Structure 1
């Protein structure tokens, strides 16, 4: 379920060095259970709707836009923007807010970041919740840009047509070159094509084609995909093996995975593999849900996990499809 969207009681920018300032906010109950929400992408940024994933009567919700994302500055900046820097930013923010331990909840790329952060700073975590896990390896990237074409061939063909024919087997490199080119027309064409392909895979069942982005929306999407192409070109500065190793090192912490059984962006096998890697973790399958966290089955699974954690300090041994 979605809870009422509570207005932030605290928000601001935090200077994290190297020319970056991150935008953060706190909402919900001031003396509630501290919980950090990590957005996906990389590059997406936070939105008010994400607050509604948490019961504001129970949780003190902390959200921030990662480097170059959302309202963080400089917008779309890729210099000094990498995974280790984001992990450091999380710890800087925790110290700034005087939080001893918090539940770390991330979706998609945010789930990847949650695992890597928690493995490095386990003492700062009361638990970890990962939705729609992205393993950040070659297989995940190859699936998104090529393998998933088997499920949405028309949408994939439209996406490829936005790229020069000679680059269509090297999509990540082509996109990185495009967003670094400074060529406005190329960037806008790639931005719309990428957004449409992501939308085609991210919803289940598939929705109609979105209207073309313009103005501020187009600029924000361009910043988002500039950062995402930067991260994907460098395989998110990590690897599948490192992410799975990080998850294995979370033993002793309450850990849960939520994953849609129809997720075409981050395949369900990611959650299954991670769950099998970490004995004692909980796995919530969101039946017939895609990658979108706001589909009813995903919302129900997220709410069940967060409600149980608020009540018991652990996640139930959920399954549904084990």
Structure 2
């Protein structure tokens, strides 16, 4: 990965009566525009996320989605949905005077990148996607109800602990009731349990730094509340919408790269393979020693390679 860099500009953009989003610009202002679309939803950006891109070649844009990171108000669910986030990306693009850009997103970031591309394909130069998530019912049930639990039974016990036995037939609904409830102590306990489950399972080997992150009050509340809000509302999309509309991307003949950890249990490889079937001209890479996280060595290497390739084959004009 590239060395750490600092933004040459950062700020907040008012995108609605409720929300302001935080954004950063790094690298070369006159370079090839690329936008980093973070995961979660609710995860936010970090300094680490700037390191996938050659700062001499790329105009690197990062932003915190509504309610996440440095965006305000924090962990707010009001007016927070997929299509509002797509609209925010368009407002940010126009605000920064960018004509077209490459979308770089993993996990929920791949979801939002696909949603944006299918609605604003004329503004997309290419897609670099990792850990594909399309928010179908089976994907949610696998991770939050029954599936990944068979692989991580120890951490699953911690995830189910805050929920009474008689509500465990639908963990999304049970968690949503508590994450949006008025009992602040219960809300925080549930936010940390939810976040710990995902942080524990996101890498092939459990990463203690991830677990510590899940214990940070504000981060856990944003991550858990916003994720659960999107999931209980089925991503504010019709069933299978992103795969059904993938032909929009294919017909545009833009380059697409898909990087998928073979042992990703958060967003299992079947979803990435389903997307690849809809975009057969895409580059597809299995990383055979990785789980879900973009920070695992093999995955990070493939993502950097893709960015290095795109800077040579794509003209911003």
TM-score range, shorter chain: over 0.9
* 5+ long unaligned stretches in structure 1: 315-322
Contact 1:116 1:246 in 2 (8 A): no
1:300-320 deviation digits (Å, cap 9, x = unpaired): 110111111111229xxxxxx
1:120-155 deviation digits (Å, cap 9, x = unpaired): 111111101111111101011001112111111121
Contact 1:192 1:213 in 2 (8 A): yes
Q: Which residue of structure 2 lines up, in the alignment, with residue 277 of structure 1? A: 278
Q: Which residue of structure 1 lines up, in the alignment, with residue 79 of structure 2? A: 80
1:270-309 equivalence runs, <5 A: 270-309=271-310
Contact 1:102 1:124 in 2 (8 A): yes
Q: Which residue of structure 2 lines up, in the alignment, with residue 210 of structure 1? A: 211
Q: 1:212 to 1:104 in 2, by over 3 A?
A: closer
Count of aligned residue pairs for this structure pair: 311
Aligned mates of 1:71, 1:236 — CA distance in 2: 23
1:1-322 equivalence runs, <5 A: 2-145=1-144, 146-207=146-207, 210-211=211-212, 217-239=216-238, 241-251=240-250, 252-313=253-314
Contact 2:43 2:219 in 1 (8 A): no
> Which moved further from structure 2: 179-188 or 114-123?
179-188
Aligned mates of 1:313, 1:180 — CA distance in 2: 44
Backbone CA RMSD of aligned residues:
1.6
Deviation >4 Å, runs of 4+: 211-214
Q: 1:167 to 1:6 in 2, by over 3 A?
A: same
* 5+ long unaligned stretches in structure 2: none
> Which moved further from structure 2: 287-296 or 187-196?
187-196
1:101-122 deviation digits (Å, cap 9, x = unpaired): 1001111001011011011111
Contact 1:106 1:131 in 2 (8 A): yes
Q: CA deviation at 1:277?
A: 0.8
Q: 1:263 to 1:213 in 2, by over 3 A?
A: closer
Contact 1:34 1:99 in 2 (8 A): yes
Q: CA deviation at 1:158?
A: 2.1
Contact 1:176 1:230 in 2 (8 A): yes
1:229-286 deviation digits (Å, cap 9, x = unpaired): 1111101112451011232320111111111011010001111110111131111211
Aligned mates of 2:75, 2:82 — CA distance in 1: 15
> Which moved further from structure 2: 218-227 or 264-273?
218-227
Q: Normalising by the residue count of structure 2, what TM-score does the alignment of the two structures yield?
A: 0.94
Contact 2:195 2:214 in 1 (8 A): no
Aligned mates of 1:54, 1:276 — CA distance in 2: 28
> Which moved further from structure 2: 218-227 or 6-15?
218-227
Q: 1:174 to 1:63 in 2, by over 3 A?
A: same
SS across alignment from 2:286: strand
Q: CA deviation at 1:81?
A: 0.7
Q: Normalising by the residue count of structure 1, what TM-score does the alignment of the two structures yield?
A: 0.93
